[in-house]
């Protein structure tokens, strides 16, 4: 991704809002690390676009509250695939 750090933060924020993506999904989509996505959407986006930051924060909080469910489903699928 080229451009300023604030531009990247806004682009990542837009993607997360539009798709409901996790930090990991956004990192994979844009070819950056999870740490970079997290830093951009929590710190840089907060100062660059506070309204967007609030919307992204809600999605990140929802994703965090659901992560144990996704992890459990992934483990279930892993062991079901091994049975086959």
CA distance 28 to 22: 10
pLDDT, tens digit only, all 84 positions of the chain: 546 888 999 999 999 999 999 999 999 999 999 999 999 999 999 999 999 999 999 999 998 887 777 778 778 888 888 877
The predicted structure's pLDDT at residue 3: 61
At 63, is the secondary structure helix, strand, or coil? helix
CA distance 56 to 11: 12
CA distance 62 to 8: 22
Contact 1, 8 (CB under 8 A): yes
pTM recorded for the entire structure: 0.76
**Both structure tokens of 27:** 């990192």
């Amino acid at each position: 991704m080229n451009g300023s750090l604030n531009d990247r933060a806004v682009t990542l924020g837009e993607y997360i809002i539009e798709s409901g993506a996790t930090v990991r999904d956004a990192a994979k989509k844009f070819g950056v690390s999870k740490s970079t996505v997290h830093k951009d959407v929590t710190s840089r986006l907060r100062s660059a676009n506070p309204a967007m930051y609030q919307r992204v924060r809600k999605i990140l909080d929802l994703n965090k509250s659901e992560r144990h469910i996704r992890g459990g489903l992934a483990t279930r699928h892993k062991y079901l695939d091994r049975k086959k």
